[in-house]
Structure formats: C-alpha cells, structure tokens
Amino acid sequence: MTGKFNKSSSMNVSVSQQVKPITLQGSATIVVQFFKYAVNSILYQRGVYASDTFDRCQQYGITLFTTKDKEINEYFESVLPNLENWLAHGELRGVSLVITSALTGEHLEKWDFEIHTVPTDGDTTITGKKREYGKKELAEIQKGIRNVMRQITATVTFLPLLDVRCAFDLRIYVNKEAEVMRGWVEQSDSNIVNPERVELRSFSTSVHRVQASVTYKADDP
C-alpha cells in the first residue's frame, strides 16, 4: 500500500521527557519521529535532491538534515499521522522507502523498516492511551536510534552512485484489520534487478522494535 506523493510544513514531534513507563501511543510518537528523520537522511545522503534544499539540525545527539521543500514536507505531514495511528493500534507492520529512476521508473533502492509490536493481553483493546506495555529509558532508546542513523549515513561508502534523476515513494504495510483512508492504493512489491540486500541496525522502544535494511541494484558482473 502506498500514499500518493503530493509532496507540509515538516512535522516535528518533540520527545523531551523520559518515556518510562511507555504506552503504545508514546512509543508510536518516537517511532514516527524516527521515520521522519530517517527518510530525510536517506534522501539527503543518496542525493535524491540537491544538498542545498536541506537544513542542518541536531537530533539524537548528532547532526541530521531535513528537507526545506514545501511539497515534500506536505507529503510527509499527510502520511506521518496515519503511521502514528496505525502504530498506536499495533497495526503497522513496516514502511519502505523506494527510490526510482525519474526517467524510467526503474526501482533502484528499497529501504525497509520492519515493525514488530509486543503482544498484548487477549482481553485488552489496544488504544495506546492508558495501558502501559514496557519500560525503557529515553536515553537508551535514542542511543539505538542514533546508531541506526549513523549507519544510514555510512551506507554511502558501499551503495552504488545514483547517477540519474530520482524520485521516491513510501510503501506502507498494515494488518488486514487496519482502517485505510481513501486515496491510498495497493501496489505490487518493488522488484529490483540484480538485488543486493544489507541488514542494518535495529532499535527498540520496548513496545516497538524497528529493523532496518537496504536492498539496492548491484552493478552487473
């Protein structure tokens, strides 16, 4: 499933207090914030858009870059609240960022973020607003996120150069029970010719665990 790209002012979720104990809603907020910075970092590091269209910022104790493009920010702001809602209800299974050739539509890279949510009691309705599911220091969570972000930055040392004009799309994977808003469409999986896959780091909020990986088109032998 994918949201049509319609390129908001950037949604900036501030998490300044320790999340202990943590609810599904609190964890969802942290994970969605991570997605926003991760996608921005990938677009910057992979040169999908010019470097001068990004602003430098400090997050998780490191320097990151976020887009200044109004249409892209509007796209993020239309998508991220949906992700947070699905996360808070334990319905989101994963998010993929697909980078394609703007000229041919060929899939060049796919960045996967698999989501694993802790199981809940059978008698409990997941609202994420009251029930506590786990305990973890915010500093420990941010350390895990920081390690993932640093690894995303380091991928430029081994990923092939994207020497064509590129575009991107977000693919969202939810449970069958999840309510999907009008305007979202189902799409087939993103196949990459001659693929190579690299597992990246993961992090956990003690409620959600996010496992990252990247699949790219390797050079022809």
Structural domain span for residue 24 = 2-217
Single out the residue of 96, 97, 79, 105 nearest to residue 166, CA to CA: 105
Rg for the chain, CA atoms, rounded = 17
Q: How far is CA 171 from CA 83, 94, 133, 168, in A?
A: 11, 8, 27, 10
Q: How many domains are contained in the chain? A: 1
Count the Cβ atoms, other than its own, within 10 Å of residue 191: 10
- Mean pLDDT score across all residues of the chain: 83
Question: Model confidence over 153-200: pLDDT tens digits?
Answer: 999 899 999 999 999 999 999 888 777 766 565 666 668 888 999 999
pTM of the model: 0.82
| CATH number of the domain encompassing residue 70 | 3.30.900.10
Tokens 């050079």 correspond to what residue?
219
The model's confidence at residue 97, banded by pLDDT at 50, 70 and 90, is very high
Edge to edge, the sheet with strand 107-117 lists 184-185, 2-3, 166-174, 92-101, 107-117, 208-217, 195-204
Count the Cβ atoms, other than its own, within 10 Å of residue 193: 10
User: Residue 136's pLDDT is what?
Assistant: 82
Count the Cβ atoms, other than its own, within 10 Å of residue 22: 24
Question: Model confidence over 50-93: pLDDT tens digits?
Answer: 999 999 999 999 999 999 999 999 999 999 999 999 998 888 99
Using CA atoms, how far apart are residues 199 and 45, in angstroms rounded to an integer? Answer: 18
Using an 8 Å Cβ cutoff, are 171 and 185 in contact? no
